[in-house]
Structure 1
Amino acid sequence: MRINHNIAALNTYRQLNSASTGQAKSMEKLSSGLRINKAGDDAAGLAISEKMRGQIRGLDMASKNAQDANSLMATAEGALNETHDILQRMRELAVQSSNDTNTSADRSEIQKEISQLIEETDRIASTTEFNTKKLLNGASGLKVSDGTQIANASSGPSTKQGTYSVDVTSATLADFAKTGTATGATASATVEGAGTLTVNGVDISVASTDSYQDLADKINSSVSGVVADFEGAGSTFRIRTADVGASQSLSVTEGADIIAALDYTSGGTPLAATGSNASGLTAGNFGAGATLTYDGNDVKVNGGNADGLTFSLKDTTTDTNITVNGSLSFHIGANEDQTMNVSINAMDSTSLGIKGVDVTTTTGAESAISTINDAIESVSAERSKLGANQNRLEHTINNLGTSSENLTAAESRIRDVDYALAA
């Protein structure tokens, strides 16, 4: 028997303390639901868990960002839907005004509605906004100073911000592949004689009683990609390709003298014409080292500050500018630089080229149809771009949700308590 030390009591006391500590830890875990409540519980596990928590919360916020971005683009696209309706009505009015059943007074009344529709297009472009941010004024995309000279302008991912001068007055527009223009035939005039006219390999039977309009109708209905019409004031019969550019070709052979002033009879050399691409723009205006690629009237800038900028030439009357502003950046990931950029081009009447549309004359109304067609194409391209990005964001949101769910499950296995073990 020892007097100074009660070993049995000390052992009991130690075991009691150990049990109390273990019980306290288990109660802490059970009450909090966490296996790791402090760094001492599992230092490495805590570090891994906190990194995962940062990712999870970042993914959840990125999902919200993507939803907000989707809402912004839906707002812009919805406004452009109304712009489309306006342009379709303007085109309808232009077709109406081009008919000579209308008097000058009638066309003046039609012009009143056209003018109001142009003003409404500008109002939509200047007032459409999301969270006070203007969407259709070109502040987050591209703006053209004169849409009557160029159309369908679009920047690329490498295009730097800035204003680029387009010297269209120095340019030559692309041309069709076409027959000569010296026939001098009117629509009602009778062809030179009967025979077979072969256009791009398609044989067309022509009667001696056919008028040039009859011949034009036969060509238009028989030969794909070729148009027969009357150039200028309608006094010159012409056969041309439907599109312009160096890729267009036309071959015409006559089995007998059919078309006035053109002699491609059997044994003669058939007409073999090719179109031409646009040319003449100053590449240096787009930055040092820039080169231009032409495809018909479509122009693409390669290299320089404006690398990736594309546009189509419409007219060569007045030099114009293209201003490229910064795009909208949407943060759609949990980490740095996980973003997507979307530009929304200006959709006002000046950028669309409809500012000066005038249907008070037959000639003006006819010209307005093509001008409005170009504007409709520009709005369609913008809406398609927005729709494609919206569809992309739907997948982004789904992916972010899946990633957040899986990371949450992984973080739970590290940090949450297992109630069956409570350890």
Structure 2
Amino acid sequence: MATGFNVNSNISSMKTYRAFAHSQTKLEESIERLSTGLRINKASDDTEGAAIATRLSNRVRSLQKAQTNSKRTIDMLQTAEGSLNDIHNILARMRELAVQSASDNLNTKDRSTIDMEYQQLKSEIDRIAKSTEYNQIKLIDGSQKATVSTVTGVGIDSVSTAGHGGQKVNSGSYSFEYKPGSLKLVNKTTGEFEVVDFTPASAGEIKTYQFSSLGLTVSFDEEFDLNNVANSTFEVTATGSTVQIGADDDADSNLDFTLGDATAKGLRLSQSSLDNLAGAQAAISSLDAAIEAINDDRSFIGATQNRLEFTATNADSTIVNLKASISTIRDVDYAKEAMELAKYQILVQSGSAMMVQANQISQTVLQLMQQ
């Protein structure tokens, strides 16, 4: 459309400037993308893509920390397993001494000499158990084990928690329910329970029952009142370790476990001695139980380490896939962007040249006035 000659509004120059400004903006965006390697440098570049990429990036960072947690826990468990291996070797030597002492062809002096080494080995077990730590966290001294307190009612001789094999014991208030032939132990805090076959203890007798799924062992004497079992209660305070192995706040992202008490007391060896025949014979059975407990702990540690290895591997695989997704959304295609750069470089240069031509249109008016 012809616009005639005027000097107040140079429409051609204005249109040329608008095209030039657009090309200049696109050129700057292209340079920014090529210099950063990112297609999305601000939310306005791709609102939806920026939101998705940010969400995935946060997920990756969380998974990286969870993976680090898994690897550090493997290191912690390896520290505990190394000490348990040493304790196992000591127990094997102590059993040799017990077998040696459990013979009538030794005199009192001989047994006293054997018992001297036996007691020193018990002390070394305590030293190892109490000094084994990771990042100032005691591992096998019993501090990882749930504790029992506030035992009420009569007839409960003792309550002990699962000290070995990694079983987690839940905190809570526990009570009993009795039906002829069976006894039910209930965690009133969590609602979990277990029923075992039950026969009351006779006079002078102590009977021990294992509530395996709850991780508890309870011993009763003849005074246990079957008519008022609800009055027999105790409290359990759980300790142990919790490891965040996932990126979410749910049960599947946490690993809970306990490590057993590997002290002489925790292995029920604190009172054992070889200074007499009966003590030596009893020590053999006690040492067998202690060795089995250590084996349970080592088996649990090995199984947990293997699980955490797979956990770390899975996290690594997920991180790689998420980073690939982020790259697809956010990273620039250099070949395509280089083509865009060349395009807008040409448009900016040609636009600049056309601006000169458009500005010269107004000069035609002066030429007309001079004629």
TM-score w.r.t. the length of structure 2 is 0.72
Report the Cα distance in structure 1 between the residues aligned to 2:322 and 2:210, rounded to whole angstroms: 45
Query: SS of 2:76's equivalent?
Result: helix
- Alignment of 1:116 onto 2:22: no
% identical equivalent positions: 35
Mapping of 1:77-116 within 5 angstroms?
A: 77-116=81-120
- Match status 1:55 vs 2:87: no
Asked if 1:336 is matched to 2:246, the reply is no
Q: Give, in angstroms, the shift of residue 160 of structure 1.
A: 2.7
- Please tell me whether the aligned partners of residues 294 and 300 of structure 1 are also in contact (alpha carbons under 8 angstroms): no
The C-alpha deviation readout for 1:109-151, integer Å capped at 9, x for no partner, is: 0000111111111112211111111111222224699xx9979
* Alpha-carbon distance between aligned partners in 1 of 2:102 and 2:208, rounded to the nearest angstrom: 29
1:284 Cα offset (Å): 6.5
| Equivalent residue number for residue 356 of structure 2 | none
1:294 CA displacement: 4.9
SS class of match (1:420): helix
Could you say which residue in structure 2 is the equivalent of 1:2? 5
Alignment partners' CA distance in 2, 1:149 and 1:83 = 26
Q: Write the distance in 2 (CA, Å) between the matches of 1:413 and 1:84.
A: 54
Which residue in 2 is equivalent to 1:293?
A: 196
* CA distance in structure 1 between the partners assigned to 2:173 and 2:128 by the alignment: 24
Name the CA distance, whole Å, in 2 between partners of 1:327 and 1:18: 64
Instruction: Work out whether residues 62 and 333 of structure 1, in 8 Å CA contact, stay in contact via their aligned partners in 2.
Output: yes
Q: Is the 8 A contact 1:125 1:137 kept in 2?
A: yes
For 1:132 and 1:98, locate their aligned partners in 2 and report how far apart those are by CA, in whole Å. 41
Is the Cα–Cα contact under 8 Å of residues 274 and 283 in structure 2 kept in the other structure?
A: yes
Residues 150 and 87 of structure 1: CA distance in aligned 2, closer, same or farther (over 3 Å): farther
| Equivalent residue, structure 2, for 1:386 | 301
Q: Point out where structure 2 has 5 or more consecutive residues left out of the alignment.
A: 150-157, 200-206, 225-233, 341-371
Matches within 5 A, 1:230-379: 292-294=195-197, 299-301=209-211, 308-311=214-217, 324-337=237-250, 338-379=253-294
Deviations 1:173-208 (A, max 9, x none): xxxxxxxxxxxxxxxxxxxxxxxxxxxxxxxxxxxx
What is the aligned partner in structure 1 of residue 31 from structure 2? 27
The one-letter amino acid paired with 1:2 is F
> How many angstroms apart in 2 are the aligned matches of 1:348 and 1:322?
23
- Tell me how far apart the structure 2 counterparts of residues 380 and 95 of structure 1 sit (CA, whole Å): 20
- The 3 A distance-change label for structure 1 pair 412 and 150 is closer
Which deviations, in whole Å up to 9, do the C-alpha atoms of 1:312-352 show, x marking residues without a partner? 97x98xx9x99653220101112223211111121111121
TM-score by length of 1: 0.63
Asked whether the equivalents of residues 139 and 325 of structure 1 are also in contact (C-alpha less than 8 Å), the reply is no
Q: Give unmatched runs, 5+ long, in structure 1.
A: 167-278
Kept after mapping to 2: 8 A contact 1:152/1:311 = yes
Give me the whole-angstrom Cα distance separating, in 1, the residues matched to 2:45 and 2:186: 66
RMSD: 3.5
- CA–CA distance in structure 1, aligned partners of residues 85 and 262 of structure 2: 12
Paired residue secondary structure (1:421): helix
- What CA distance in whole angstroms lies between the structure 1 residues aligned with 2:336 and 2:298? 58
CA distance in 2, matches of 1:47, 1:65: 27
Cα deviation, residue 10, structure 1: 2.1
- How many residue pairs get matched? 301
State the shift of 1:281 in Å. 11
Decide which structure has greater helix share: 2
